[in-house]
């Protein structure tokens, strides 16, 4: 074949190939296009004129809620008199009249418990007051009523928020479980939400603007009301109600009080209520990322063993103590938060007399860490926000004196008590046999599926885990242990144990005891003398002198309990079953003490039983003869 | 050489435009149906409003039609009538039984089943069954999902487990998450009777079994940064509860579920709700039925979110 011929063949082959490829390529492209159209094409559909079921007015753009910011509490007077609600304190009297006219729909009803009205919000120039079901929400800047749209922002998807909130509110009480196979609930949920949306469409609801949520209340059945709760924590990037009307110039008085969104509700009422009982709930940010809530608990507790100093402390200005204690505790416990986490620190404290001059502070710290978004939600009231870490600390050894100087008891106060662990363990074992004892809550088996859980509990571990402190005033050992659980602790022990438990050797002084301790003498081995006195009682004072001398020379335990105390001693009297004759009548010592409160009365207890006794003054020599019989 | 160049140019000049025009011709979009003028609303009077307030009519409804009956009761009656009606709701089957036994006058429910028809026959009762609203069964997905339309057979294949990935139906390379509803829920029953028709549903994973509408919204609307969800419901609920920018309704066999396509029944997955009375119903009952079927009734149904049947 000639070169020229060969070239022609090659040329025309290439040309033919190009033509074939082009045609094939085109055909393939057409096929692919058709396939896509086939799958995706929506044809022959008239353009839908989509009219949403609910429409919302457009609002102007505004800043959104900042939980770290302090917002001003409106410095206005709110009066509930003559059946009406009225405010005063705005500079612009025309607007003030406008607001009062709007408030005039509310009817105030008085009762022995107060009136039927509630201030939902009074912050950031927003005012919302409810009396029974009726509610008025106004902004104090223009006097206009607040609408749902104004809670949110310009581009907020309000429709979705309402649908979502409606669902959450319907399912609030846990009736919408995924495991629930009851179709009634599934269909009823959708119908309930449909009804809610219809009510909103018909404007058939009452809006209530609160500090952490807004509620749409509507009548679900005759005289029955339900609410859709728009929780701010669900939409915190869209809530503008705290910032929308901010303007400090509209008031006659200066703004002096501020609050953060999480505590505005409390702060508003704190300012209104004159009889503040004095204990401060000082929740605040201590830095950008840490919120501390410090609470002193022992306000109204009544414990016959202890003199609570709450009353005294309120007179001494509780707030100073709280600030000081909070600072000290945070310094000591080093509660820094790692990295980008945010933290909530709860501190609960109880304060007791330690000696006449100082107070002992128990505190429990609960620290929870969150990522920023979850922290914001938690701060706005979402209790199920996801925690990253939690930490619990219990401490019982801090002291503060009347000059507010802080010191610490030994971290290991029991180290000088001989055979401490052995004796404590024996004591615990004895106590566990009694109903209602202090140690039954250790590693509680309430949540355990192990049948042998209770048997497996090791109280040696409890002794290792617990915190201890010595209470000199009352001669007691304080013991504290806790393991927090989700809703309640999975282990909780708080006990006050007489230090006598750790003593084998007799005391060299007459020991003052209470009824419980007196009763415990009937559980012990050995010889014990118990005498009852009262005030005034001169023979008692004289007898004391005699007994005092005996306690040292005879090396015996002598205890004293006062008939002036608030105890009834009934259980104790039943143990004093030896009969005697007094004023020609026969009765047991117990009966005589119960009926006549004779003092001084002395009883001798040996190995848990009363064996002898006497009433009235006796000299040391005579007392010795009685006691010698049983030694 | 020169000859070859000329031939090449000629071939290219013929080939390129030919391929281009051929492509254009065969991929031409079908002419669009001209947009319908919005249906001019006849002015509706309020002559019948409140007319049945003291009528003492007894009515009942299915769970799915309760909102509709509430709207009728409130408009044609009053608040007291509405409260009375709400107190006495049972459901579809008990409603039919009550009607057949003469314990109720009028029910708005789904079509009678074979069992209900047999019961009527047994009791020598003739039922009048009149369609009052149309209802569609809709599928929805995330608005960002590139898929706009599914063939009905695709839907069945997805929910029976044959198709598992979006790219098998023209979408992204990702797994479909076909959400289901609990057994015996209204939507699930609709899914079985209108869509699957005997083809067994795939076993849902725990994630896919979303009990409640709130969960589905979060799942499909991309609140978890996941655009692969697919859900279903009746048009009534979807229309008033799922109209968010993050969710779109899918076309089935090329037809999107809209008010119009459900009204004119061009949407392929249709059902309806009916006014059912006894043939020997009282005059008052029949008047009430007429009211529900009137223009006023249609307006009430539309405002309540339903699609009343088109008046001929």
Can you tell me which residue has the tokens 């939507």?
A: B187
Degrees to nearest 5, angle at CA A53 with A52 and A58: 60
Residue B186, Cβ neighbours under 10 Å: how many?
21
Degrees to nearest 5, angle at CA A210 with A204 and A211: 160
Degrees to nearest 5, angle at CA A251 with A246 and A252: 165
Q: Which residues contact B198 (CB under 8 A, 6 or more apart)?
A: none
Degrees to nearest 5, angle at CA A413 with A407 and A419: 175
- Which is nearest to A124 in space by CA: A278, A280, A205, A232? A232
Q: Quote the percentage of chain A above a pLDDT of 90.
A: 33
Cis amide bond preceding A536, omega within 30: yes
CB nearest A178 (choices: B19, B26, B211): B211
**pLDDT score, position A43:** 44
Tokens of A470: 């010595």
First to last CA, chain B: 76
**Nearest-angstrom CA–CA distance, A513 and A311:** 25
Q: What count of CB pairs under 8 Å joins A to B?
A: 173
Average pLDDT over residues A439-457: 83
**pLDDT score, position B215:** 61
CA distance A212 to chain B (A): 22
**pLDDT score, position A585:** 85
Average pLDDT over residues B279-306: 93
**pLDDT score, position B28:** 72
Q: Is the pLDDT of residue A178 over 70?
A: no
* Continuous segment of H or E residues that includes residue A30: helix A3-40
The DSSP symbol for A372 reads: H
**pLDDT score, position A46:** 45
**pLDDT score, position B226:** 67
| CB-CB neighbors (< 8 A) of A160 in chain B | 217, 221, 244, 246
**pLDDT score, position B212:** 56
CB nearest A49 (choices: B38, B151, B182): B38
- Which is nearest to A176 in space by CA: A158, A191, A188? A188
Contact yes or no for B26 and A30 at CB 8 A? yes
Q: Is the pLDDT of residue B284 over 70?
A: yes
**Nearest-angstrom CA–CA distance, A492 and A483:** 7
Q: Is the pLDDT of residue A384 over 50?
A: yes
**pLDDT score, position A364:** 85
Average pLDDT over residues A604-625: 92
| CB-CB neighbors (< 8 A) of A39 in chain B | 147, 149, 151, 169-170
**Nearest-angstrom CA–CA distance, A363 and A400:** 13
**pLDDT score, position B166:** 94
Average pLDDT over residues A32-50: 55
Average pLDDT over residues A482-500: 80
Query: Which residue on chain B is closest to A222 by alpha carbon?
Result: B83
**Nearest-angstrom CA–CA distance, A329 and A363:** 9
**Nearest-angstrom CA–CA distance, B262 and A196:** 24
CA distance B223 to chain A (A): 12
Q: What is the largest CA-CA distance in chain B?
A: 102
What are the backbone angles phi and psi of residue A528, rounded to the nearest 5°?
-135, 140
- Given pLDDT bands bounded at 50, 70 and 90, which one contains residue A279? very low
- DSSP bridge partners of A407: A399
Whether the CB of B93 is below 8 Å from some CB of chain A: the reply is no
What are the backbone angles phi and psi of residue A36, rounded to the nearest 5°?
-60, -45
Share the mean pLDDT of chain A: 83
What are the backbone angles phi and psi of residue B32, rounded to the nearest 5°?
-70, 145
Chosen from A187, A224, A226 to mutate, greatest number of chain B CBs within 10 A: A187
**pLDDT score, position A295:** 80
- Which is nearest to A436 in space by CA: A485, A396, A481, A495? A495
Inter-residue contact B39 to A51 (CB < 8 Å): no
Tokens of B146: 């590139």
Can you tell me which residue has the tokens 């304190």?
A: A89
**Nearest-angstrom CA–CA distance, A62 and A155:** 11
Q: Is the pLDDT of residue A181 over 80?
A: no
Inter-residue contact A358 to A401 (CB < 8 Å): yes
**pLDDT score, position A569:** 83
Average pLDDT over residues A122-144: 95
**pLDDT score, position B37:** 46
Q: Is the pLDDT of residue B18 over 50?
A: yes
- DSSP bridge partners of B141: B230, B248
Average pLDDT over residues A229-257: 95
**Nearest-angstrom CA–CA distance, B164 and B169:** 10
**pLDDT score, position A40:** 52
C-alpha pair distances (Å), B144 with each of A311, A393, A448, A473, B148: 65, 49, 48, 73, 10
Share the mean pLDDT of chain B: 86
**Nearest-angstrom CA–CA distance, A628 and A611:** 12
**pLDDT score, position A566:** 66
- Quick: pLDDT tens for A401-428: 878 888 887 777 788 788 888 889 988 9
**Nearest-angstrom CA–CA distance, B52 and B254:** 43
**pLDDT score, position B183:** 66
- DSSP bridge partners of A344: A291, A368
Inter-residue contact A265 to A119 (CB < 8 Å): no
C-alpha pair distances (Å), B205 with each of A115, A484, B177, B209, B224: 54, 34, 10, 6, 17
CB nearest B214 (choices: A30, A168, A191): A168
CB nearest A53 (choices: B27, B186, B305): B305
Query: Which residue on chain B is closest to A24 by alpha carbon?
Result: B19
Q: Is the pLDDT of residue B40 over 60?
A: no
The DSSP symbol for A255 reads: P
- Quick: pLDDT tens for B198-235: 999 998 877 776 655 556 666 666 545 568 889 888 89
Provide the ipTM.
0.75
- Given pLDDT bands bounded at 50, 70 and 90, which one contains residue A595? confident
Pick the range with the lowest mean pLDDT from A386-400, A507-521, B45-59. Answer: A507-521
**Nearest-angstrom CA–CA distance, A591 and A248:** 75
Question: Which residue has better confidence, A171 or A581?
Answer: A581
Inter-residue contact A321 to A309 (CB < 8 Å): no
Contact yes or no for A45 and B236 at CB 8 A? no
- Quick: pLDDT tens for A187-222: 567 777 888 888 888 888 999 999 999 999 988 777
Q: Quote the percentage of chain B above a pLDDT of 90.
A: 49
- Quick: pLDDT tens for B169-188: 999 899 998 888 766 666 77
Whether the CB of B17 is below 8 Å from some CB of chain A: the reply is no
- Most confident range (mean pLDDT) of A186-195, A236-245, A559-568 is A236-245
Inter-residue contact B76 to B48 (CB < 8 Å): yes
CB nearest A48 (choices: B185, B237, B259): B259
CA distance B43 to chain A (A): 19
- Which is nearest to B162 in space by CA: B148, B176, B183, B146? B176
Average pLDDT over residues A464-475: 76
CA distance B279 to chain A (A): 30
Inter-residue contact B276 to B43 (CB < 8 Å): no
**pLDDT score, position A314:** 47
- Which is nearest to A417 in space by CA: A502, A477, A480, A475? A502
DSSP string, A122-191: EETTEEEEEETTEEEEEETTT-PBP-GGGGS-TT--HHHHHHHHHHHHHTTTS---TT---HHHHHHHHH
**Nearest-angstrom CA–CA distance, A294 and A138:** 34
Q: What predicted TM-score, i.e. pTM, was given to this entire model? A: 0.68
- Quick: pLDDT tens for A504-532: 655 567 888 888 888 888 888 788 999 99
CB nearest A53 (choices: B29, B33, B239): B239
* Continuous segment of H or E residues that includes residue B115: helix B114-122
**pLDDT score, position B35:** 47
Question: Which residue has better confidence, A105 or A472?
Answer: A105
Can you tell me which residue has the tokens 């005012």?
A: A127
Phi-psi region of A406 (alpha: psi -120 to 50; beta: other; left: phi over 0): beta
Q: How are beta strands A491-498 and A71-72 bridged, if at all?
A: unpaired
User: Is residue B47 classed exposed, middle or buried when 0-12, 13-18 and 19+ CB atoms within 10 A define those classes?
Assistant: exposed
DSSP string, A451-478: TTHHHH--HHHHHHH-EEEEETTTTEEE
Q: Which residues contact A275 (CB under 8 A, 6 or more apart)?
A: none
Average pLDDT over residues B257-261: 92
- Given pLDDT bands bounded at 50, 70 and 90, which one contains residue A492? confident
**Nearest-angstrom CA–CA distance, A384 and A372:** 14
**pLDDT score, position A310:** 44
**pLDDT score, position A396:** 79
Q: Is the pLDDT of residue A628 over 60?
A: yes
Inter-residue contact A131 to A85 (CB < 8 Å): yes
- Given pLDDT bands bounded at 50, 70 and 90, which one contains residue A596? confident
Q: Is the pLDDT of residue B73 over 60?
A: yes
- DSSP bridge partners of A251: A90
**pLDDT score, position A177:** 56
- Quick: pLDDT tens for B87-145: 898 888 899 999 999 999 999 998 888 888 899 999 999 999 999 999 999 998 988 89
Degrees to nearest 5, angle at CA B124 with B121 and B125: 85
Secondary structure (3-state) at A336: coil
CA distance A169 to chain B (A): 11
Three-state secondary structure readout of B10-41: HHHHHHHHHHHHHHHHHCCCCCCCCCCCCCCC
The DSSP symbol for A386 reads: P
């Amino acid at each position: 074949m000639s070169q020229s011929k060969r070239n022609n063949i090659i040329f025309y082959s290439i040309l033919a190939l190009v033509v074939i490829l082009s045609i094939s390529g085109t055909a393939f492209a057409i096929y692919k296009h058709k396939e896509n159209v086939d799958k995706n094409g929506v044809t022959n559909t008239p353009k839908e004129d989509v009219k949403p079921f609910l429409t919302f007015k457009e609002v102007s753009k505004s800043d959104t809620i900042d939980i770290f910011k302090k917002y001003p509490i409106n410095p206005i007077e709110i009066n509930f008199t003559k059946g009406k609600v009225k405010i005063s304190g705005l500079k612009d009297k025309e607007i003030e009249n406008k607001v009062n006219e709007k408030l005039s729909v509310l009817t105030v009803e008085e009762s022995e418990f107060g009136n039927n009205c509630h201030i939902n919000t009074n912050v950031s120039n927003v005012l919302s007051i409810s009396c029974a079901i009726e509610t008025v929400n106004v902004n104090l800047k223009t006097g206009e009523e607040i609408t749902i749209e104004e809670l949110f922002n310009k581009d907020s998807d309000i429709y979705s928020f309402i649908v979502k909130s409606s669902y959450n509110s319907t399912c609030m009480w846990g009736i919408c479980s995924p495991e629930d196979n009851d179709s009634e609930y599934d269909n009823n949920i959708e119908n309930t939400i449909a009804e809610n949306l219809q009510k909103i469409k018909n404007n058939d609801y009452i809006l209530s603007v609160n500090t952490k949520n807004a509620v749409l209340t509507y009548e679900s059945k005759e005289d029955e009301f339900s609410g859709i709760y728009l929780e701010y924590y669900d939409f915190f990037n869209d809530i503008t109600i705290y910032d929308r009307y901010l303007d400090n110039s509209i008031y006659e008085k200066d703004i002096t009080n501020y609050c953060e969104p999480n505590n505005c509700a409390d702060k508003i009422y704190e300012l209104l209520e004159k009889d503040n009982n004095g204990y401060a709930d000082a929740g605040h940010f201590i830095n950008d990322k840490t919120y501390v809530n410090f609470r002193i608990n022992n306000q109204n507790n009544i414990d016959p063993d202890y003199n609570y100093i709450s009353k005294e402390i309120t007179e001494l200005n509780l707030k100073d103590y709280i600030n000081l204690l909070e600072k000290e505790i945070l310094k000591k416990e080093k509660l820094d938060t790692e990295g980008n986490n945010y933290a909530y620190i709860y501190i609960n404290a109880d304060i007791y007399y330690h000696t006449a001059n100082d107070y002992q502070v128990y505190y429990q710290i609960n620290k929870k860490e969150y990522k920023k978004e979850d922290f914001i939600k938690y701060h706005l009231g979402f209790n199920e926000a996801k925690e990253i870490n939690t930490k619990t600390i219990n401490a019982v050894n801090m002291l503060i004196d009347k000059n507010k100087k802080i010191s610490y008891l030994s971290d290991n106060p029991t180290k000088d008590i001989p055979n401490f662990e052995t004796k404590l363990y024996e004591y615990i074992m004895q106590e566990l046999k009694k109903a209602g004892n202090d140690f039954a809550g250790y590693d509680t088996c309430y949540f355990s599926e192990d049948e042998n859980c209770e048997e497996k509990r090791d109280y040696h571990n409890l002794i290792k885990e617990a915190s201890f402190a010595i209470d000199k005033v009352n001669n007691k050992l304080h013991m504290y242990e806790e393991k927090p659980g989700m809703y309640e602790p999975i282990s909780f022990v708080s006990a006050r144990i007489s230090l006598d438990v750790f003593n084998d050797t007799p005391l060299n002084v007459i020991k003052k005891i209470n009824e419980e301790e007196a009763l415990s003498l009937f559980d012990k081995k050995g010889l014990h003398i118990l005498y009852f006195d009262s005030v005034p009682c001169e023979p008692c004072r004289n007898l004391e002198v005699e007994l005092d001398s005996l306690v040292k020379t005879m090396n015996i335990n002598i205890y004293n309990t006062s008939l002036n105390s608030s105890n009834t001693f009934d259980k104790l009297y039943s143990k004093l079953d030896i009969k005697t004759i007094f004023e020609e009548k026969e009765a047991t010592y117990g009966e005589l003490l119960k009926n006549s409160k004779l003092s001084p009365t002395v009883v001798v207890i040996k190995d848990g039983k009363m064996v002898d006794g006497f009433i009235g003054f006796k000299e040391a020599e005579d007392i010795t003869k009685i006691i010698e019989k049983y030694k | 050489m020169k000859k070859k160049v000329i031939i090449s140019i000629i071939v290219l000049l013929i080939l390129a435009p030919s391929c281009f025009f051929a492509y254009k011709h065969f991929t031409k979009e079908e002419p669009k149906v001209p947009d319908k003028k919005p249906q001019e609303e006849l002015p509706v009077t309020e002559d019948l409003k409140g007319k049945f307030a003291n009528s003492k009519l007894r009515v009942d409804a299915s769970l799915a039609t309760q909102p509709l009956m509430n709207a009728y009761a409130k408009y044609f009656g009053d608040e007291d009538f509405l409260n009375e009606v709400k107190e006495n709701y049972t459901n579809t089957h008990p409603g039919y039984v009550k009607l057949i036994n003469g314990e109720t006058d009028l029910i708005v429910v789904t079509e009678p089943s074979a069992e209900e028809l047999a019961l009527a026959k047994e009791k020598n009762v003739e039922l009048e069954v009149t369609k009052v609203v149309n209802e569609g069964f809709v599928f929805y997905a995330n608005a960002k999902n590139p898929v706009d339309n599914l063939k009905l057979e695709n839907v069945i294949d997805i929910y029976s487990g044959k198709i598992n990935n979006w790219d098998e139906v023209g979408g992204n390379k990702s797994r479909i998450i076909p959400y289901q509803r609990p057994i015996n829920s209204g939507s699930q029953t609709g899914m079985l009777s209108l869509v699957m028709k005997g083809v067994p549903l795939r076993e849902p994973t725990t994630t896919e079994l979303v009990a409640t509408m709130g969960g589905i919204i979060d799942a499909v609307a991309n609140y978890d940064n996941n655009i692969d969800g697919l859900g279903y419901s009746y048009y009534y609920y979807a229309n008033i509860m799922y109209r968010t920018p993050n969710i779109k309704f899918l076309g089935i066999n090329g037809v999107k579920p809209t008010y119009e396509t459900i009204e004119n029944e061009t949407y392929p997955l249709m059902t309806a709700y009916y006014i059912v009375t006894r043939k020997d119903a009282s005059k008052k009952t029949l008047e009430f039925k007429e009211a529900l079927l009137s223009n006023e009734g249609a307006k009430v149904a539309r405002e309540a979110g339903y699609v009343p049947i088109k008046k001929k």
